[in-house]
Each structure stands twice: as structure tokens, then as C-alpha cells.
Structure 1
């Protein structure tokens, strides 16, 4: 069920993006950007809703597992490790979906032909806010997992505790690496856009100078 909730959140994300891009007109940026931003808001709201639903269902599942374990005199070591692995897989799947969404948004951002500095700044701020919100949600997932590990520590042996701590450490390292790469890609996209602006500005200045020369020549004639 947590996987289904996260998948529905991802589906809603892409639907929101599709809605925002459906009526986007590159020749009319000023009127198209508000519609695009509304679609992006819908996309991230559905993604957040899917993650929260997954966290809630996983929390109920952890309480259920703990209740079952408390009824037994001893806990099977292999079963406990399997439960931890299932949680890791769920979190990894959520992280994968989030990174795919961010990659898709970055690609769309690179391909957009911006004609207004105001619109460019607005979209960049939206992307920064979405990345900050995603990082916060990842922190919540990690805290949920740490809580689970703490509960398991009360019932399991020291060997299981060590195994869970090692898994958490490895997961945190992978999260840091993946988000680092994602922000690098976003910075590259913004850098490329700024270079395009400078080139376009230079082209406009050259064109204006040529028109002035032509006008002066016609006046002399």
C-alpha cells in the first residue's frame, strides 16, 4: 500500500505538469507562465500528498509489526532484517520518484525559450522552493526510519541494532550524493540560460547599431 500511495503521488505530479504545459505558448510567455506555475503547484501538491500517505501507512504498519512482536517471547533475527529491508526499499522508491520528477522539471526548464527576465526569476524561485520542500520531506522519511530503528532496538538483539544503524548510514550517504548531483544539474541549467541571455542581448545591441547606421545613411541621401 505505501508503494501504491507514492506511485499515485508521482502520477499526480506528472498530470499536474502536463496540465501546466498543455496550454503553454512559447510565443506568449507573459500569459503562459501563470498557467505553467499553477500546473507545477498541483504537481508538487499531489507528490507531497502521496509521500505523506505513504508515511502514514508505513507508520501504521510499524505499529502493527511492533504489536505482533510484543506478543512473542523472542523475535526472529532474519524476519526483523527483512522488515528493515522492506522499509529501505520503500524509501528508495520514493527517493527515485522524487529525483525523476526533479529531472523532468529541469529538462523542461532548459528547453523553455524565455523572453522575459521577470518570468525567468519567478520560475527559478519556484524550482528552489520545490527542492527545499523535497529535502524537508526526505528528512521526515529519515526521521520515521530512525524512530522505527529505535523501536526495534527495544525488542531485538544488539546484532540487529548494529545492522540497522549500518543500513541507515548507507542510506543517508546515498541521499546526499543523489541530491548533490540534482542541484548540480539545476545550476548547469540556470548557467546555460544566463549565457543565452547575454548572447541575445549582444545580438539585439548589434541589430540596433545596424539600424542606426542605416537610418543615418538614409538621412544623408
Structure 2
């Protein structure tokens, strides 16, 4: 509870105590409890509107979470001030009711007593001052009646007074006045007759005129009282009722107009704020739905990426395994290349030695032919065996490589499609380089073998036709082997290109 709320509640209590003090100081205070209760209630309602206004001042649609506490504090002030105002009004009315119950009075009897006192004063005035004083007393009596706060009490008192004035019983005021006047007249007449016996004639005349005058005055007074009672009852009742109704209508219309304006404007603002809050909640719900969909799509994409990465990892492991197999195959082919190189060097050395030892060749031709034939045959056999073994291994590795490439092609299809151009460029470059190397090696081997064979053939053609035939057959086998190797490489390139 903030300091403003505490201050306003204390202000309400101070106003309540002030109202209690003013009513207690005024005579007949309990007749003003309705007005005082209305004042206290209006102060409470005013505090209610202040609380709602404070809550709406700090309320911001763009920042609901931080503005809700301020709105709730304003509503606390509104409800607390209303509660305090209504409680003070209830306490005031309850106390007035208890006070009236304790000090209960009879309004009609009190009004009759006041009216009788006024009549007695009027009679005394009649005896002393005449009609002018009677009219002033009647005016005073009218003012006393108009000063009454309780309209019901006034009307009841007036009816009782009218009954007392115009009744036909012996206890009516006019009957008592008539009897009193008769007694007074008789007493005065007897006194005058006793004291003025000497001047009886004159005095009797005067007494008769006085009696006549008193009787006339009595009749006039009676008629005036009857007319006055009727007019006063009707005019006071009508005047009090009309004024009270008009005053109540005016107060009620003003209160309803102010209450309608204040409540209508405040509830209109509250309705607009609630409408904007509902619209903001709908937009927030739509944004949350879109965000949930985006999170769902992102999760699915991450899951697909994870599966693709697992497949790539598995394919990469298989590629590494197959690469090791290719390395082993290359290592197996390396001794064959060394053997061919050694044999070519041997042929080159043989050519060099042939120039130097040409005279000796003629002597050792037969032995050399035999040994060369055996060596050539052995070399051919070894070459056949080695080539067969290498061909078989190459076929096996080619089959394994083909299977591996097929699996990799299936698993990495998406990746290859994305990087298709780069892969094709690299493959073309590799194929071109490999083809150039193979062609270069083939041409070098062909040129070297051709030169060596031509030189050797030119030198030893005259020695042995069989040696030339065997050498040509060996060259043919080497050429076939190189041709087969070239065809295998070309076939592998074509198969790889088709798979890609």
C-alpha cells in the first residue's frame, strides 16, 4: 500500500469525523444523516475514480508486464476508498437509528404542545394588543411549522392541530376558548355591576356593548382560526411536498448525469484498453505459432544434416579403406616396373657392350643364342605369370573399386550434385593427367624399346634369325601388355565418367 492510498484513506476518516462533529453540534442532527451519508459515499466514489485514473495513467499496452502492478495498485486504492466511504455512511446511519430509538419522541404531541403554547400567547395578545398581535403570532406559528425538518411529522402535527381546532368535542381549543371567554365576560360583568352600582344605567349600556363586541371578536377569531387551519394544512403540505420533490429530482438528475458521464467515459477507456489487449494477444499468439513452425523446420533440417553427415562419414571411411587397397596394388606393381627398368637397362648395356665386344659375339653366338632364348623364354614366362597375377589383382581391385564407387555414388549423390562442376573439373584434370602420364610412359617405352630393338636387330640380325624372332615375339608381348594396360585405364576412365 503506497503513501497516496494511506493519505487518502486518512483524509476520508478526517472528513467522517468532521461530519460527525458538525451533526452532533447541530440540534436535531439525526434528521441530516441521509445528506451526510451521501457526502461520505460521494467522497468514497471520488476516491474510486482517482484510483482507476491512476491505474490507467501507468497502464501501457506496449509494456503489459511492467504496467500491470501499477494498474492493480490503482484498483486497490479505488476499492479501498469505496469501502471506507460506504462503511462510514453505514456507521453514521446506524448510529442515528440507534439514537432515535433511544430518544424516541411523539412528533404529533410535540407539535400540538407548541401549537397550544402559541395559541395561549395569541390569546394573551388578544387581551392586550388586539388583532395586530394575533396576526404576528400566526405568522410566527407558520414559520415554526415551516422550520420543521421532518415532513411527515409536520403533516401529522397539522392534522392534529386541525382536529383540535375544528373538532366537535368538548375538549377542542375553540370550545375551551369560548368557555373561557364566557367565564371572563361573566366575571367582568359581575365585577362591574358590583363596583358600579351607582351608575348602573351607563355601565349596563357599556357592558352590553362590550359583551357584543367580545362576542363578535370571538366569532371572528373562530372563523379566522378555522380558515387558517385549513389553509395552513393545505399550503404547508403542498409547499413542503412540491419543494421536496423538486429538490430530490434536481439532486437525482445532477447525480445521475455526473455519474453517467464519469462512468461512461471511464468504462469506454477501459473497454478500448481491453480491446487493444485482446488484439495484442492475438498477434502474439500468431507470432508464437510462426516461431514454433520455424523451430520445427530448423529441427528437421538439423536432423537431415546429421543423417547426411553420418552417411558421409561412413562413405569416407570406406573410401579410406579402398584407397589403402589401391596403395597396396600400386606397391605390387612397383617391382614389375623395376624389373622392366632393369631389363631395359640390361638391353642398353648389352647394346653398349655389343659395340665393344662385337668380335667376341661371333665366337659366343651359339651360346648366347641358347642362353638368350632360355632367358627370353624364362622372362616371357615370368612376365606372363606376373602380368597374369597383376591382371587378376587389377581385376579384383577394379571390381572392388567399382563396388565402392557405386556405393559412394549412391550415398553421396546429393553432395556430388551440389559440387558436380568442381568434381567433374577435378576428375577431368586427373583423367587428363593420368592419360598424359600413361601416353608418355607408353611412348617412352615404345620409343626406347624400338630404338633398342632396332639397334640390337641391326647389330645381331646377321647372327641369328631365331634371336630376332624371339626378340620380336617378346616385344610383341610387351606391346600387348602395354596395350592391355592402356585399354584398362581407358575403360576405367569411361566407367568412372558414366557413373558420375
TM-score range, shorter chain: 0.3 to 0.5
The TM-score normalised by the length of structure 2 is 0.25
The TM-score normalised by the length of structure 1 is 0.47
Higher gyration radius (CA): 2
Q: Greater RCO between the two (CA within 8 Å, min separation 6)?
A: 1
